[in-house]
């Protein structure tokens, strides 16, 4: 019988392997270093096929337990797009953008996506380790379920605290606050994929937190459990689109070896 710790500690037996593709570090560094938050765009449109490709690549971002707690709303309706730019405080990064994508963290789709994972495993051509099945059948509901009105949150927090007295233990998510952090972390990883994909195709972007998230949620008719992480604008950078040189502080403030 599979023990709970085996899910984390044991390397499962499976019949799947995937070789890493050859990559070009210099090309990747060029994409990374040339990505800048662009504040003004030209009138040059982004081809629809490019935008669709970038959004598809967005969904390849790593995410927690592969539960993909995100949505990316490409706002194409002209009236909604103009209103969204206004809700982004009318900043040029929004008003001059060729495209706007609202990046949404979902606190409530984990169970639907958990079931989709189990369906995918059931239809897989490869043998799925029992530990993986047990994780999605048993542990995921315990980890992410918060109960009616979040009633399980404080109980889970106490249980985790007691168990952690004896061994390393995840401390959450326990309650809505933890679920918000959980969902926004994965969504932000997707946002990075979107911006790097746009740069790789020769276009630019700007992640905007300067907006009214409640009105944006209302504009898109999103449920209360959907929270706007950021709005990403996209287009071809104008000559005055970058406001200044990129400033990064001394690496010793942020990089440590222990």
How confident is the model over 181-237, as pLDDT tens digits?
999 999 999 999 999 999 999 999 999 999 999 999 999 999 999 999 999 999 999
What tokens appear for 137 in the block?
């059948």
State the pLDDT confidence band at 172, using cuts at 50, 70 and 90: confident
**The pLDDT of residue 5:** 63
- pLDDT (mean) for 94-121: 98
Residue 1 pLDDT > 70: no
- Rounded distance, CA 145 to CA 77, Å? 36
State the pLDDT confidence band at 2, using cuts at 50, 70 and 90: low
pLDDT digits (tens, 9 = 90+) for 47-75: 999 999 999 999 999 999 999 999 999 99
Q: What angle do the packed helices 25-34 and 176-200 form, to 10 degrees?
A: 110
Sheet with 99-106, strands from edge to edge, namely: 70-75, 99-106, 226-235, 204-208
Q: Tell me which residue has tokens 């905007």.
A: 208
- pLDDT (mean) for 26-47: 98
Question: 3-state SS of the chain: helix, strand, coil percent to 5?
Answer: 45, 10, 40
Dihedral angle, C-alpha 227, 231, 232, 234, nearest 10 °: 140
State the pLDDT confidence band at 3, using cuts at 50, 70 and 90: low
- pLDDT (mean) for 171-185: 92
Q: Are 38 and 195 in contact (CB under 8 A)?
A: no
State the pLDDT confidence band at 169, using cuts at 50, 70 and 90: confident
> In which element (H, E) is residue 207 found?
strand 204-208
- Rounded distance, CA 240 to CA 109, Å? 41
**The pLDDT of residue 13:** 78
Residue 244 pLDDT > 90: yes
Residue 4 pLDDT > 60: no
> In which element (H, E) is residue 122 found?
helix 110-122
Greater model confidence, 153 or 96: 96
- Rounded distance, CA 97 to CA 207, Å? 12
Whole-Å CA distances, 77 to 38, 170, 229: 22, 43, 21
- Rounded distance, CA 11 to CA 14, Å? 9
pLDDT digits (tens, 9 = 90+) for 112-168: 999 999 999 999 999 999 999 999 999 999 999 998 888 888 888 888 888 888 988
* Residue of 192, 193, 206 whose CA lies nearest to 237: 206
Predicted TM-score (pTM) of the model is: 0.93
Pairing of strands 226-235, 204-208: antiparallel
> In which element (H, E) is residue 6 found?
helix 6-9
């Amino acid at each position: 019988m599979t023990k709970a710790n085996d899910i984390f500690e044991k390397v499962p037996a499976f019949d799947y392997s995937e070789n890493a593709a050859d990559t070009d570090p210099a090309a990747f560094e060029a994409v990374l270093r040339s990505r800048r938050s662009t504040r003004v765009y030209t009138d040059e449109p982004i081809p629809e096929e490019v935008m669709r490709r970038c959004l598809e690549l967005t969904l390849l971002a790593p995410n927690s337990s592969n539960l993909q707690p995100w949505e990316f709303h490409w706002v194409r309706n002209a009236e909604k797009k103009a209103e969204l730019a206004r809700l982004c405080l009318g900043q040029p990064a929004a008003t001059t953008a060729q495209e706007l994508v609202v990046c949404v963290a979902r606190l409530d789709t984990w169970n639907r996506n958990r079931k989709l994972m189990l369906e995918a495993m059931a239809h897989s051509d490869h043998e799925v380790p029992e530990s993986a099945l047990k994780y999605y059948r048993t542990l995921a509901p315990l980890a992410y379920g918060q109960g009616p009105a979040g009633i399980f949150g404080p109980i889970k927090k106490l249980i985790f605290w007691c168990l952690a007295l004896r061994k390393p233990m995840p401390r959450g998510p326990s309650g809505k606050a933890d679920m918000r952090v959980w969902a926004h972390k994965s969504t932000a990883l997707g946002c990075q994929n979107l911006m790097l994909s746009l740069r790789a195709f020769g276009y630019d972007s700007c992640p905007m937190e300067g907006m009214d998230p409640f009105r944006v949620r209302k504009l898109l008719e999103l449920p209360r459990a959907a929270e706007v992480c950021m709005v990403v604008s996209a287009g071809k950078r104008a000559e005055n689109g970058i406001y200044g040189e990129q400033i990064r502080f001394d690496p010793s403030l942020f990089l440590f070896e222990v």
